[in-house]
Amino acid sequence: MILEMMMESLFAVVDIFFVAKLGEDAIATVGLTESVIVLVYAVGFGISMAATALISRRFGEKEYQEAGASAFQLLLVGGGISLIFSILGVLFAPNILYLMGAEPDVIENGSSFTRIIFGGNAAILLLFLINGAFRGAGQAHHAMRSLWIANGLNIILDPILIFGIGSFEGFGLEGAAWATTTGRGLGVIYQLYHLLNGKHRLWISRESLQIKWSVIRKILDIALGGMGQFLIDSVSWVALTRMNAEFGSVALAGYTIAMRVLIFTILPAWG
């Protein structure tokens, strides 16, 4: 888990390293968006804790078929919650930035970035919850490898999609969002491959593809405690970012960089 959080912390510094070359408005956009998307992280942490508890219990009982069925319910829960975040983020991206205190230029130029990040939040949630299931099944190596893939691709794609290469001019700030979302998305594809290929004890078979409301309720019951714990920290982060936004994009950019460095140092401790 410590290594997983170290890999996750790389996202915090890699993106801001390249985005910083686009100016303070770009950094401010990333800071405002990430301060709100951290609510998705809180939900992901909570469901991940539920996934580990539920899958490990089924493995302890040697109920491998039930473990696969529980994994499918986890995907349904994560998919449903991420759909809600996606719709709200895509439709109300300018409003989110406005409520967070963004200046007009930041709202105009940064709304596309916010839409892409929120639209791809399923990759964030699924990375967390499937890795939680892998840990519960004793397959932590798959969790680690999925983050290697996500981070490696993000590091490669960031400069290409932001600044371009050869005749390709890049997408600017939106390129950072596409790089992060693509990297995480391919990490999730790696996870799903190992969940569905039938080569491991934890796998989702055809018999597992049914909705079990009792399991979904149990997942939510277990997850709520973890969500509440991380939501407290998340809300305080939102509030601090909102207060710093009052001092303008330059001050907010400085705050965002400082927070990214801080996150890089403290995330491993969460593991």
- Read off the DSSP letter of residue 120: T
11 pLDDT higher than 80 = no
Residue 253 CA to residue 29 CA, distance in Å, equals: 9
- The 10s digit of each residue's pLDDT in 42-96 is 899 899 999 999 999 999 999 999 999 999 999 999 999 999 999 999 999 999 9
- In the chain, domain spans: 2-270
Asked if 23 contacts 83 with a C-beta cutoff of 8 angstroms, the reply is no
- pLDDT tens digits, 242-251: 999 999 999 9
Centre a 10 Å sphere on the Cβ of residue 166 and count the other Cβ atoms it contains. Answer: 6
Rounded CA gap, 224 and 220, in Å?
6
Read off the pLDDT of residues 139-187 as tens digits, 9 standing for 90 and up. Answer: 988 998 998 899 899 999 999 999 999 999 999 999 999 999 999 999 9
Residue type (1 letter), 132: G
What's the pLDDT at 229?
81
Q: Alpha carbon 271 to chain centroid distance? A: 16
Nearest by Cα to 156 from 133, 182, 124, 134: 182
Angle between the 213-245 and 24-60 helix axes, to the nearest 10 degrees? 160
| C-alpha distance from residue 149 to each of 8, 144, 145, 154, 211 (Å) | 11, 9, 6, 8, 30
Alpha helices in 61-139 (DSSP H): 64-91, 93-99, 104-119, 121-136
Q: Which two tokens stand for residue 130?
A: 């499937």
Strand partners, 168: 165
**Does 133 score more than 90 pLDDT?**
yes
pLDDT at 5: 67
